[in-house]
């Protein structure tokens, strides 16, 4: 391995060791200790490599290379979703084993952030002088609100053009709109005392439990539920909220168990999982709408369910709201990001596509995704890696990893892309 690859592997492993999921806030640490420490580590690493850096109040940071008047951005994030359950490797261990770097954030998005940093280092060492001022911007709140980007906009200048290595290859020309909505299902005569599940709006619920006065043991086992005293437990498999089909939602078996004798819960199951109002029938060239109920709790006579909705990029949020109104269920918008949609033949997309084809030897076309990246923060921004077609899905799942082989490829691709886009 080259020393750049060795250094990048070490940098990724070190970054993973910070639990940078959303934590206890303070004036100095707006997203908690772990996110703050991870940002400090990344900027210190960049400084040690000879780059100018800036820390914007613990919200976001940037690494500067070049001095051109025009600016070019690479936007990454250092925060992560909670580890969740089911790990066989330490989620924040940064273990390097079996040709892989293991841990939360390895792919999403600490690994790519470090790879871009060392791509810049390669260009610097080669004496490349970009005609544009390259800004490697790292945020600390991508997974839970984007306050980092909002703060950066106020404190610094956001370039118009760039890419985010927080998506997929070959290159992303469109991203679906993102809606996080909380639905309120009235439940005046709940068949349980307590019910709760899910960890994050954009993670498929992998654990859900309910406390009840009586349990039908045989029936509970038919639904695959565990019994612990007067508690029923359902376990699923986490996945990214934009791809719920890759996970197993733990809410469904638990709600289905209670829905047998409760029409209000049966209605909730019909809305959330059977899609009787046709939300997922909304579609266009960027794909169908996806609906993922990811966080649930029973409070004050109602089921409150936080759903992750990704709607087609050529539609508007109003198309979704019309379907929600038809349900007749109270709802509130918790978070909304409009879709991203670009011309597939733009110079930015064509350049990145040529880099992908040259480095992989594979002809490809731009694609659309349901995930949301920082590319939306730019007037002319797209997603570019790090996932390849056919990769095992590991984002937001247990035992997340990035292979050392992929790190080596990213170093090459990001160096080539930055050189061509800023020469």
What are the φ and ψ backbone dihedral angles of 255, each rounded to 5 degrees? -65, -35
Respond yes or no: is residue 79 known to be catalytic.
Answer: yes
169 in Cβ contact with 352 (< 8 Å): no
What are the φ and ψ backbone dihedral angles of 234, each rounded to 5 degrees? -115, 135
| CA–CA separation, 254 and 290 (whole Å) | 21
What are the φ and ψ backbone dihedral angles of 281, each rounded to 5 degrees? -85, -15
| CA–CA separation, 137 and 141 (whole Å) | 12
Active-site residue identified among 7, 71, 79, 143: 79
Terminal-to-terminal C-alpha distance of the chain: 28
All residues at 6 or more sequence positions from 44 whose CB lies less than 8 Å from its CB, including other chains: none
Token pair, residue 419, equals 């050189």
As a whole number of angstroms, the longest Cα–Cα distance in the chain is 72
| CA–CA separation, 12 and 240 (whole Å) | 21
**87 burial level (CB within 10 Å; 0-12, 13-18, 19+):** middle
Active-site residue identified among 71, 142, 175, 400: 142
The beta strand positions in 7-132, using DSSP E, are: 52-56, 60-65, 71-77, 95-97, 100-102
Token pair, residue 331, equals 């709802």
Pairing of strands 60-65, 133-139: antiparallel
| CA–CA separation, 415 and 423 (whole Å) | 12
All residues at 6 or more sequence positions from 104 whose CB lies less than 8 Å from its CB, including other chains: 16, 19, 21, 80, 81, 83, 91, 92, 400
Respond yes or no: is residue 142 known to be catalytic.
Answer: yes
- Listed residue (93, 136, 114, 100) closest to 41, CA to CA: 114
Distances in Å between the Cα of 366 and the Cα atoms of 168, 221, 306, 342 are: 10, 46, 31, 10
Active site residues: 79, 142
């Amino acid at each position: 391995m080259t020393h750049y690859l060795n250094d990048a592997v070490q940098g990724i492993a070190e970054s993973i060791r910070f639990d940078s999921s959303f934590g206890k806030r303070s004036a100095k640490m707006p997203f908690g200790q772990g996110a703050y420490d991870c940002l400090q580590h990344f900027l210190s690493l960049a400084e040690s490599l000879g780059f100018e850096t800036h820390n914007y109040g613990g919200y976001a940071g940037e690494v500067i290379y070049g001095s051109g008047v025009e600016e070019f951005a690479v936007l990454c994030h250092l925060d992560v979703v909670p580890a969740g359950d089911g790990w066989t490797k330490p989620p924040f261990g940064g273990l390097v084993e079996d040709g892989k770097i293991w841990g939360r954030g390895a792919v999403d998005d600490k690994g790519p952030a470090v790879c871009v940093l060392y791509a810049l280092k390669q260009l610097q060492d080669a004496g490349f002088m970009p005609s544009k001022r390259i800004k490697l911007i790292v945020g600390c709140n991508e997974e839970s609100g984007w306050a980092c980007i909002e703060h950066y906009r106020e404190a610094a200048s956001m370039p118009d053009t760039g890419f985010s290595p927080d998506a997929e290859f070959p290159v992303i020309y469109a991203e679906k709109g993102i809606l996080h909505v909380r639905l309120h299902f009235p439940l005046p005569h709940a068949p349980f005392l307590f019910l709760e599940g899910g960890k994050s709006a954009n993670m498929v619920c992998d654990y859900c439990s309910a406390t009840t006065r009586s349990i039908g043991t045989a029936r509970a086992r038919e639904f695959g539920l565990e019994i612990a005293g007067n508690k029923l437990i359902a376990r699923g498999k986490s996945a990214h909220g934009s791809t719920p089909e890759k996970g197993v939602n733990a809410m469904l078996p638990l709600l289905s168990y209670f829905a047998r004798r409760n029409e209000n819960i049966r209605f909730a199951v019909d809305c959330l999982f059977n899609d009787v109002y046709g939300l997922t029938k909304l579609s266009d060239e960027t794909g169908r709408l996806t609906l993922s109920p990811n966080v649930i709790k029973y409070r004050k006579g109602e089921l409150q369910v936080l759903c992750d909705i990704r709607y087609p990029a050529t539609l508007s949020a109003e198309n979704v709201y019309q379907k929600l109104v038809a349900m007749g269920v109270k709802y509130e918008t918790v978070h909304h990001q409009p879709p991203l949609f670009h011309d597939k033949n733009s110079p930015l997309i064509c350049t990145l596509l040529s880099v992908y084809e040259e480095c992989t030897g594979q002809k490809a076309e731009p694609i659309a995704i349901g995930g949301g990246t920082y590319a939306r923060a730019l007037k002319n921004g797209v997603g570019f890696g790090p996932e390849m077609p056919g990769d095992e899905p590991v984002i937001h799942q247990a035992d997340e990893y990035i292979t050392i082989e992929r790190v080596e490829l990213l170093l090459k691709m990001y160096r080539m892309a930055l050189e061509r886009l800023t020469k």
